[in-house]
Amino acid sequence: MSRDGRRIEMRHGAGGPAMRELVGSLFARGAPMGIEGGVGLGALDDGAALRLGERWLVFTTDGHVIDPPFFPGGDIGRLAVCGAVNDLAVMGATDVLGLSLAVVVEEGYAHADLERIQASIEAACREADTRVLTGDTKVMRRGEIDGVVLTTSAIGLVREGGDPVRDAGLRPEDEILVTGTIGDHGMAVMTRRHDLSVGAGDGELLSDVAPLNGLIAAALAAGGPAVVAMKDPTRGGVASALHEMAQKSGVGVVLEEERLPVRPAVRAACELLGIDPLQVANEGKALLGVRPEASDAVLAALHAHPLGKHARRIGRCTATRVGSLILDTGFGRRLVTESEGELLPRIC
Amino acid sequence: MSRDGRRIEMRHGAGGPAMRELVGSLFARGAPMGIEGGVGLGALDDGAALRLGERWLVFTTDGHVIDPPFFPGGDIGRLAVCGAVNDLAVMGATDVLGLSLAVVVEEGYAHADLERIQASIEAACREADTRVLTGDTKVMRRGEIDGVVLTTSAIGLVREGGDPVRDAGLRPEDEILVTGTIGDHGMAVMTRRHDLSVGAGDGELLSDVAPLNGLIAAALAAGGPAVVAMKDPTRGGVASALHEMAQKSGVGVVLEEERLPVRPAVRAACELLGIDPLQVANEGKALLGVRPEASDAVLAALHAHPLGKHARRIGRCTATRVGSLILDTGFGRRLVTESEGELLPRIC
């Protein structure tokens, strides 16, 4: 038992280095990286992968504590479905067998709000061509929990003959693709929470929360084993996701700033709040690391899917600056850091 | 959307009829009972069962909100592992592939307490011969959640050639077995929470929280398909579990009061608080419905296992009083009702 009086801080849930340190030293301590050739807890990937007969089964879980639970472009129900589906998808398990849903709700919560959340869960499941298979409901007394927390787990299969896609498979010269604009989810929630209004001429701020299994299946069909790494840039944004991929893979990553797809409304809100869009959470985007010879084909497949129209090639892996993320601004290069603190608590 | 201003009440999380009504009308509405011959959300069983190649895969989830998180005989970590493992086991999936663990913790929570919980998770996994495969960590601000909530999901396989065991398979004349004493978990937590002391001469009150996959595997090896129904009597106790089994199976159940195994300390605490031990949660017990010709063999297998020493035959199914639970006191018979309210909030 530790004797040093340490306490949990908000940064331990922020998706960055403090969280990875906590998880690695506590919940995943001693856990194997791999299990019988698969992916174990120790790998700290988006899920675990187990061989089951002829196929790979992927298993993942996510707690959802978003505040507010209803936000522009979605709600906690849609988020809980998409969060689980997307964690499977970025491991290559686009054939989603189903989800579990554990609800913890505060005494006095409005039944009508649960109805809205459930309708949203049902709609998101239809979009992802999946279903909730099993569930659990707990009630806490008034004041013991703020509203509602949803935890979803999901199980899915990697396509026949395919292997799970890790977040650690990058090599120098691999290209980094993003499936669409960045920062939409975080800024939609943030501005709603603080009741900020961003110039209407810049368009509405809407979360991008969406299930990516169809889009990722299309990318894998086009790229096959040349899609060597994937991750969904949720908490901590593109910056945390690429740091983790670069560190685990043993490469550097150089991003070209002018190629980063950021909606004008998101850029305006980020400037207003002094936040880097690279550090903002996304809930309907994926980062793909692709061998250079396959990147045109993968990008074409992404563009052909409704959720991938704004996909871009945004960077490239290097043999130097291992574990670092570098932004090429066109005028020079600077290191992109992860946010150490908690910019946006309860963003997902 | 409902327009009637209904609010969630504590009884909606109590494991009884109010919870079943909420889940059936909301979270599981329209969900199929079965999926390709398996068990779906609509069945409201302990988990879902899917055919995967030659085997049945069972998938289950449980949120754990117990207060206090450390209690005599266990803690929330042990409970979270055992809750998931036992839901699999009573579906017949005693080969546990692994668990997911989603942690939601309050800002300011003591790191040392998380260390204790993690040590307990590791120990319970060793007992159950399983492991945590994947996880998630979220932090809520001080006052937004009371301490820590753990949600575990689990995946497991039914033994080769076997089918999932439902909670709805009872027929008249089937015998009801319980794997040990009842009421231990609920009364240990309840007396700790209220700082009650029960006469020391009656022995210590300890939770029974334990992983049952080994015990259930032994029962299934002895009874095979003659083990026709199982359930773990957690929230709502033996009364709720048998009501649900009787209603789904279309039988009545008669219990013999003198056969019910209740420890003296549990009985004393129940009398002090005016609680029926049949309504108290258990976390290391299972109810088995067994064809009469196999019940001796199954009982012998239970007795031979360290967790089944106090197993008993406690009742029998009838073709009359369908959906009812009847207690034969030796002097007469009375109906056992489920608790409609919430006797013991946050008991698991």
- How large is the average pLDDT for residues B292-320? 98
Per residue in B188-246, pLDDT (tens digit) is 999 888 887 765 555 689 999 999 999 999 999 999 999 999 999 999 999 999 999 99
Specify the residue for token string 């754990």.
B64
* Closest-approach residue (CA) in chain B for A114: B26
User: Between chain A and chain B, how many beta carbons pairs sit less than 8 Å apart?
Assistant: 277
Give which of B29, B33, B129, B133 to mutate to test A binding, by max A Cβ within 10 Å: B133
B115 and A1 within 8 Å at the Cβ level: the answer is yes
A88 touches chain B (CB under 8 A): no
A206 touches chain B (CB under 8 A): no
Residues of chain B with pLDDT > 90: what percent? 88
Smallest Cβ–Cβ distance between B10 and the set A47, A122, A139 belongs to: A139
d(CA A266, CA B245): 54
> What are the chain B neighbours of A143 within 8 Å (beta carbons)?
146
A36 touches chain B (CB under 8 A): no
A344 touches chain B (CB under 8 A): no
Go through the domains of chain B in sequence order and give each one's CATH number.
44-157 (3.30.1330.10), 175-336 (3.90.650.10)
| Side-chain-side CA neighbours of residue B248 (13 Å) | 22
> What are the chain A neighbours of B107 within 8 Å (beta carbons)?
7-10
B141 and A346 within 8 Å at the Cβ level: the answer is yes
pLDDT score, position B197: 74
Token reading at B46: 């302990």
Give which of B33, B58, B153 to mutate to test A binding, by max A Cβ within 10 Å: B153
User: Measuring CA to CA, how many Å separate B194 from each of B33, B182, B191, B205, B269?
Assistant: 41, 20, 5, 13, 12
pLDDT score, position A300: 98
Residue B38 makes CB contacts below 8 A (sequence gap 6+) with: B48, B49, B50, B51, B56, B164
- In contact, A80 and B138? CB cutoff 8 Å: no
B52 and A52 within 8 Å at the Cβ level: the answer is yes
Residue B275 makes CB contacts below 8 A (sequence gap 6+) with: B187, B190, B269, B343
> What are the chain A neighbours of B146 within 8 Å (beta carbons)?
140, 143-145
Taking alpha carbons only, the member of A75, A135, A119 closest to residue B23 is A135
User: Measuring CA to CA, how many Å separate A137 from each of A150, B11, B78, B348?
Assistant: 10, 11, 19, 11
User: Measuring CA to CA, how many Å separate B84 from each of A199, B61, B282?
Assistant: 49, 6, 14
d(CA B10, CA B4): 18
B221 touches chain A (CB under 8 A): no
Smallest Cβ–Cβ distance between B61 and the set A53, A122, A134 belongs to: A134
B123 touches chain A (CB under 8 A): no
> What are the chain A neighbours of B135 within 8 Å (beta carbons)?
23, 27-28, 41, 61
Token reading at A147: 């509203």
A145 and B141 within 8 Å at the Cβ level: the answer is no
SS3 string of chain A?
CCCCCCECCHHHHCCCHHHHHHHHHHHCCCCCCCCCCCECHHHCCCCEEEEECCEEEEEEEEEECCCCCEECCEEHHHHHHHHHHHHHHCCCCCEEEEEEEEEEEECCCEHHHHHHHHHHHHHHHHHCCCCEEEEEEEEECCCCECCEEEEEEEEEECCCCCCCCCCCCCCCCCEEEECCCCCHHHHHHHHHHHCCCCCHHHCCCCCCCCCCHHHHHHHHHHHHHHEEEEECCCCCHHHHHHHHHHHHHCCEEEEEHHHCCCCHHHHHHHHHHCCCHHHCCCCCCCEEEECHHHHHHHHHHHHCCHHHCCCEEEEEEECCCCCCEEEECCCCEEECCCCCCCCCCCCC
Tell me the whole-structure pTM to 2 decimals.
0.96
Taking alpha carbons only, the member of A35, A337, A34, A102 closest to residue B13 is A102
pLDDT score, position A64: 98
Top pLDDT among B345 and A299 is at A299
- How large is the average pLDDT for residues B249-278? 95
Smallest Cβ–Cβ distance between B146 and the set A28, A137, A145 belongs to: A145
Taking alpha carbons only, the member of B43, B36, B133, B40 closest to residue B84 is B133
Task: Flag whether pLDDT at B340 surpasses 90.
Answer: no
Partners of B135 in the beta sheet? B101
Task: Flag whether pLDDT at B342 surpasses 70.
Answer: yes
A194 touches chain B (CB under 8 A): no
> What are the chain B neighbours of A54 within 8 Å (beta carbons)?
53
d(CA B207, CA B178): 16
> What are the chain A neighbours of B30 within 8 Å (beta carbons)?
122
- How large is the average pLDDT for residues B19-45? 90
End-to-end CA distance of chain B: 31
Mean pLDDT (chain B) is 94
**How far is the alpha carbon of B237 from chain A, nearest alpha carbon, in Å?**
16
B8 and A109 within 8 Å at the Cβ level: the answer is yes
Token reading at A269: 């809100």
* Closest-approach residue (CA) in chain B for A139: B13
d(CA B57, CA B98): 12
A63 and B6 within 8 Å at the Cβ level: the answer is no
d(CA A230, CA B281): 44
SS3 string of chain B?
CCCCCCECCHHHHCCCHHHHHHHHHHHCCCCCCCCCCCECHHHCCCCEEEEECCEEEEEEEEEECCCCCEECCEEHHHHHHHHHHHHHHCCCCCEEEEEEEEEEEECCCEHHHHHHHHHHHHHHHHHHCCCEEEEEEEEECECCECCEEEEEEEEEECCCCCCCCCCCCCCCCCEEEECCCCCHHHHHHHHHHCCCCCCHHHCCCCCCCCCCHHHHHHHHHHHHHHEEEEECCCCCHHHHHHHHHHHHHCCEEEEEHHHCCCCHHHHHHHHHHCCCHHHCCCCCCCEEEECHHHHHHHHHHHHCCHHHCCCEEEEEEECCCCCCEEEECCCCEEEECCCCCCCCCCCC
pLDDT score, position A101: 98
> What are the chain B neighbours of A97 within 8 Å (beta carbons)?
50, 59
Smallest Cβ–Cβ distance between A27 and the set B103, B144, B146 belongs to: B103
A107 and B146 within 8 Å at the Cβ level: the answer is no
pLDDT score, position B199: 57
pLDDT score, position B323: 97
Token reading at B3: 């327009």
* Closest-approach residue (CA) in chain B for A27: B118
d(CA A17, CA A24): 10
List per-residue pLDDT tens for chain A, 348 residues long.
445 799 999 999 998 999 999 999 999 998 988 877 899 999 999 999 999 988 999 999 999 999 999 999 999 999 999 999 999 999 999 999 999 999 999 999 999 999 999 999 999 999 999 999 999 999 999 999 999 999 999 999 999 999 999 999 999 999 999 999 999 999 999 988 888 776 555 568 999 999 999 999 999 999 999 999 999 999 999 999 999 999 999 999 999 999 999 999 999 999 988 999 999 999 999 999 999 999 999 999 999 999 999 999 999 999 999 999 999 999 999 999 998 777 788 999
- In contact, A102 and B61? CB cutoff 8 Å: yes
- Cβ atoms within 10 A of the Cβ of B83, count? 28
Taking alpha carbons only, the member of A323, A160, A158 closest to residue A240 is A323
**How far is the alpha carbon of B330 from chain A, nearest alpha carbon, in Å?**
37
Q: Are strands B132-140 and B95-106 parallel, antiparallel or unpaired?
A: parallel
d(CA A194, CA A135): 33
**How far is the alpha carbon of B84 from chain A, nearest alpha carbon, in Å?**
11
ipTM over 0.85: yes
> What are the chain A neighbours of B347 within 8 Å (beta carbons)?
none
A60 and B101 within 8 Å at the Cβ level: the answer is no
B153 touches chain A (CB under 8 A): yes
Radius of gyration of chain B (CA): 19
Residues of chain B with pLDDT > 70: what percent? 97
Angle CA(A238)–CA(A240)–CA(A246) in degrees, nearest 5?
A: 95
d(CA B150, CA B99): 12
B102 and A132 within 8 Å at the Cβ level: the answer is no
A13 and B52 within 8 Å at the Cβ level: the answer is no
A33 touches chain B (CB under 8 A): no
Specify the residue for token string 């806490």.
A140
Token reading at A229: 């790494």
- How large is the average pLDDT for residues B301-321? 98
d(CA B285, CA B157): 20
